[in-house]
């Protein structure tokens, strides 16, 4: 299950540097699959989606920090608990009911993005 940032976010920025997958971006910033991962060029994600890892993608939010669901592994493979939720001062990093994934799927995403680990 990916984590999502709710509109209670106060834009403090504490979560962004804590994400081991670089899945968190400031509102209005572009994002890329390659940021903070080993992905490069044309790749097919474990979910079957073909993407260009180098291509700048549209921000998911223009107002608040946001999490890219394809890059969030709920910190599986790195930490015992979601690091964004652990540091967020207003507890607005919560499980996303629209992106429910098994632990095996989350670990598969982590291994795909970080094969060297």
Tokens representing residue 12 in the block: 């403090």
113 binds ligand SF4 per the rule CB under 6 A: no
Rounded least distance, CB 114 to ligand SF4, Å = 11
**1, 39, 43, 84: which one binds ligand SF4 (CB under 6 A):** 84
Q: Is the dihedral of CA 91, 1, 114, 40 positive or negative?
A: negative
**Interaction with ligand SF4 in 16-35: which residues (CB under 6 A)?**
18-21, 23-24
Name, in order, each residue with C-beta under 8 angstroms of 111's C-beta and a sequence gap of 6 or more.
Answer: 77, 117
- The contact set with ligand SF4 (CB under 6 A) reads 3, 5, 9-15, 18-21, 23-24, 65, 67, 72-75, 82-84, 87-88, 90, 92-93
């Amino acid at each position: 299950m990916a984590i999502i940032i709710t509109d209670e976010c106060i834009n403090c920025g504490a979560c962004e540097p804590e994400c081991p997958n670089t899945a968190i971006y400031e509102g209005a910033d572009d994002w890329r699959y390659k940021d903070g991962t080993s992905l490069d060029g044309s790749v097919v994600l474990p979910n079957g989606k073909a993407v260009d890892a180098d291509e700048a993608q549209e921000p998911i939010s223009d107002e608040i920090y946001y999490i890219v669901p394809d890059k969030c592994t709920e910190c599986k493979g790195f930490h015992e608990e979601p690091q964004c939720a652990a540091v967020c001062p207003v507890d607005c990093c919560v499980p996303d009911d629209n992106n429910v994934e098994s632990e095996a799927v989350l670990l598969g995403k982590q291994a795909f993005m970080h094969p060297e680990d």
